[in-house]
A = this chain, B = another copy of it.
Amino acid sequence: MTRPSEDDLIARFFAPLATTAGADGLTDDAAVVPEGEGDLVVTMDMAIAGVHFFPDDPPGLIAAKALRVNLSDLAAKGAVPTGFLLGLGLPPDWTTDFLGAFAEGLATDIGGYGCPLLGGDTVKVPGPLTLSVTAFGRAARTVRRRGARPGDVLCVTGTIGDGALGLVARRAEREPAASPDWLRLLAPDERAHLVDRYLSPRPRVALAAAVARHASAAMDVSDGLVGDLAKMMTASGTGARLDAAAVPLSSAAARALAIDPALRERVLTGGDDYEVLLACPPERLDELREDAAAADVPLVVMGKVTEGTDVTWMADGRVLSFASSRFEHF
């Protein structure tokens, strides 16, 4: 079977995704980033088969997740996406079917998030499928991790823990013998919800403008809420006091915790949430809530920023401690 050349492959699968003038139809070695108002924010995340996703995950979802984790970073900085570059390292066994499904997954998200393909690079890799996405966005104000101040309230979007539990559920789909008891006791639609949340993060792009307007500090929750919050407090030179009971859970995660209370640590410290963690001056909280509601993004208060450097998680009037504070892909 003859394989298409790199140029043929780009023309067939990726040029149709490059709908912006600066991409020049992917016929050149470089792109021109579109002009715009505000800061140009840029982020890069790599994703490697066997490390960040399973090689047999659906190709369209692998592609979409590689893009979405970058859009999540942008949203948490207050930036609305404007385009991306794709680095694609193909293993020896790639197929045109795989690439077709991969490009289709990207096409859906490019439309859905208004984030065209600007360019990239395609290479062969004597190893696992390797993705490198560089995404651009514009922020009226770039919100950093380091801006939290004592007295700020700490908020988080959506629900926490679904991704980490979904990873367990996705593993169990591949190796049923590895299925833990709590997972077997969930209803099929609860398991499906968790797997979906693991495979398909929903970056909070709709909240980006509100983050830029109101947040004193923000970051996306990708390596576990406890560890990411600790990083934000370290960067800000502050402490925090949090109520674990206030951490928002999906009904599937709540059911899993009811079955096995020991899962609380995995929920709070696991990765793959792709929600926004933010600190907000108390006098701006009402407006933040209004903007979040208008953007249809659930948002709750979990605690507040304190003087000092101690980060304390409370549950049922007691201080929680964690064996491992963060999930490291690295």
Which A residues fall within an 8 A CB radius of B? 5-6, 24, 27-33, 39-48, 50-52, 73-74, 76-77, 79, 85, 87, 89, 118-128, 130, 132, 134, 142, 144-146, 219-220, 235, 328-330
Contact = CB atoms under 8 A, between A and B. Distances in A.
A23 to B, nearest CB: 10
Contacts of A51: 123-126
Contacts of A45: 121
20 contacts: A24-B144, A28-B144, A30-B74, A31-B42, A32-B39, A32-B40, A44-B87, A44-B119, A44-B121, A44-B134, A46-B123, A48-B127, A48-B130, A50-B126, A85-B134, A121-B132, A125-B127, A125-B128, A126-B127, A130-B130
B48 A120 contact: no
A42 B119 contact: yes
A51 to B, nearest CB: 6
A329 B123 contact: yes
Nearest to A122: B330
B132 A29 contact: no
Nearest to A50: B126
Contacts of A24: 144, 146
A94 to B, nearest CB: 11
Contact of A87 (B73, B118, B132, B328): B132
Contacts of A130: 46, 48, 89, 125, 127, 130
Given A41-B32, A85-B134, A127 B124 contact: no
A74 B45 CA distance: 22
Contact of A73 (B30, B47, B76, B79): B30
Contact of A46 (B87, B119, B146): B87
Residue with the greatest number of chain B CB neighbours at <10 A, chosen from A46, A77, A118:
A46
Contacts of A118: 42
